[in-house]
Amino acid sequence: MDCTLGSPLQHRDQDYGQLRDACLKCKSLFEDPEFPAQRSSIGLPADTDPARALKWLRPKEINKNAKFIEGTASTNDICQGQLGDCWLLAALSCLTLHQPLFANVVPNDQELSEPYAGIFHFRFWQYGQWVDVVVDDRLPVQSGRLLFSYSRTQNEFWSALLEKAYAKLNGCYASLKGGNITEAMEDFTGGIARSLSVASRTPAVLWRALGSSLSRGTMLSCFIQAVNRAEVGMVTPEGLVRGHAYAITATDVVKDKKGEVCLLRLRNPWGFVEYCGPWSDNCKEWDEVDNAEKQRIALTRAEDGEFWIKADYFSSLFTTVEMCSLNPDALDDTPSSWRITSHQGAWVPGCSAGGSRKYRRTFWTNPQYRLVVSQLDHQDVADENDDDAEEQGGLEEDGEEAVAAVQTDRRTSSTVVVELLQKHCRQKDKINFMYIAFHIYRVPPELQDDPSSLKASFFSSNKPVSRSGKYQAQRGTRRKVRLPPGNYVIVASTFKPNIQGSFFVRIFAQAGNELESQGGVPCSSEFSSVVLANPIAPDDRSKVQVLFKQQAGLDNRLNAVQFNKLLNSGLEESLHLSLETCRGLIFGQDTGGTGTLSLAQTEQLVAAVNSLQAIFSQFDTDSSGTMSSFELSLALQAAGFLLDPPVLQQLWLRHGTADLLLSFDGFVACIGKLRKLFDLYESEGSLEVKEHGINTWLLRFIGV
């Protein structure tokens, strides 16, 4: 489903238009059952002081002159309340500077005047699609004041209602405590975010780059990196808060008696606590500037959270700039043509959650995505590796040099931007970001035509040509790199194996380059030629013939119960299979609708089970009677089944165990299910089914 801005996904199936019309028809105010006016929607402990009891009030109950938006939305409409969501509100301050982007998030057909139904809606980008979130306008109030976000004008409520909608999207208000501003920037725009180390440029170059970015609609923010948790929230002698997000809202030049001064305008989302160094609101430097100049830049010398700072001082005090633009050219003067490919994926324990490169036996099982670079850039692209802020504070995978040398001559390489976002880590009052990263490997020509060839040996003997950086416990990690022409594979992983989670990966590449999932080839089965073609051994034939006579019914055939007894009582102990698995094997045979086996069919199945036992033993390296689930795809390949990752993942979810081990019975059950599904597909006469292909068929029925 293509959920665009014009046709967004309805969050929790709530249709704003229908709900609003129903309320207007019955002359009632909307009360949202999906996000009720209760403590559960707050997610924080209740205040024990009765005088500070929480109330839920509508805007006109708080202020008789309540407006949704008074005039136009501005940064002064946003002040932080009793919630640590400065990252969200700083991004919201940036959003107000770009009216078209603001209108995408805040539909402009909403008012607190008649016709009024107490219902509002907002749109957010979520992992490749836009989502429309409905809320009622009951807001949490404590001691007569809004508990969370509020406007300095006191009678404006759009920011408080947007904050409520974003809290609903993420579970509750408490789920918004703490975050990275790039997360909110991307959710407001669907754009691509980047981190930039302030120290990577001279003050003059940085100032020019930020001004150019603002003019192209890029959202900008900054912060001072806290060395440890204790430093977060500490105020520096210059009045700046460590670990706190500030919005960058403008750059400009003013003239004093000494000449031109390059300035940046910042805003603290608290709405107070401002920079107090040179060029701050009340400093003497402004006395040397003409009033006309001060009026031109709209200088406001008030404690409103907004202040100007000289470019030199900015570079000496701040450590990181965060930016978000609709394409990767946030700092480049010449726009280029980008092609975007995205994939939804998952790390499934025991199947596709192989961990970092230090787990050499399982790293290859992580989701993989192919990239073919053939089209070169037609212009210089500057600063392709300026994301060094992302290297800080993460987990290193090993002590080795992690990236192989690769030629990156601008004339013979192309720009690629990769972003990996983990999904659904803000739920209710818990924020659980996993440590994630991605690696890019070059695929040699001899392996390019075989998508199943990139196994453990390939990754253990080759170094990546690039990576996202250290594993980061943040929602997203991204990297802009230059790659020479060739075939590459991108591997997305968590730091530790068997960590369950879902993710979204998108790849920006120059037009002409090709991107695809590693699992994009049709599944195939050679089971009949690999396993069923093996004849039964003479000794086993004699045993089977004797046991068949003992177990067969009057029709001289075996049903599932009798076949189960034959395997479990007369043959090797290791062939023990459950009755249900025996039924699956029988229904994989052509029994003419009887569900019973002839002697020849019994001999064939016993031979097949013996072959599967040999395959299973090959991967049961510790002779425990179980097979590591990471080896399931290799065992299935040995049995003649080549499966793409999504199919393998669904197969594991259907047959895998909680302890991430697979018994021989479970392995045979997988084989029986696959064999029957492949046979049914071959007999299917529908052209529509054939057009969709075997992969779609397997994904549809593998869970049945």
Tell me which residue of 22, 25, 29 sits closest to 135, measured CA to CA. 29
| Both structure tokens of 520 | 């994009």
Q: Supply the DSSP symbol for 411.
A: G
52 secondary structure, DSSP code:
G
CA angle 624, 626, 629 (to 5 degrees): 135
**At residue 652, what are phi and psi to the nearest 5 degrees?**
-65, -40
Residue 302, CA atoms < 13 Å, CB-side half-sphere: 7
Single-letter amino acid, residue 632:
L
For residue 692, what are its two tokens? Answer: 């969709």
Task: Identify the residue whose tokens are 């996993």.
Answer: 434
Residue 244 catalytic?
A: yes
Question: What does 145-163 look like in DSSP terms, one character per residue?
Answer: EESS-B-TTSSB-HHHHHH
Give me the helix-helix angle, 599-619 and 579-586, nearest 10°.
120
Q: Please give the Cα distance from 408 to 386 (Å, whole number).
A: 15
Evaluate whether 131 touches 116 at the Cβ level (below 8 Å).
Answer: no
Catalytic-role residue among 121, 244, 343, 655: 244
Residues 376 and 482 sit within 8 Å (Cβ to Cβ)? no
Residue in 104, 170, 268, 487 annotated catalytic: 268
Work out whether strand 414-422 and strand 476-483 pair parallel, antiparallel, or are unpaired: antiparallel
Q: Is 343 a catalytic residue?
A: no
Is cis: bond before 445, omega within 30 of 0? Answer: no
Is 424 catalytic? The answer is no
C-beta separation of 620 from 626 below 8 A? yes
Tokens 């990754």 belong to 459
Catalytic residues: 86, 244, 268
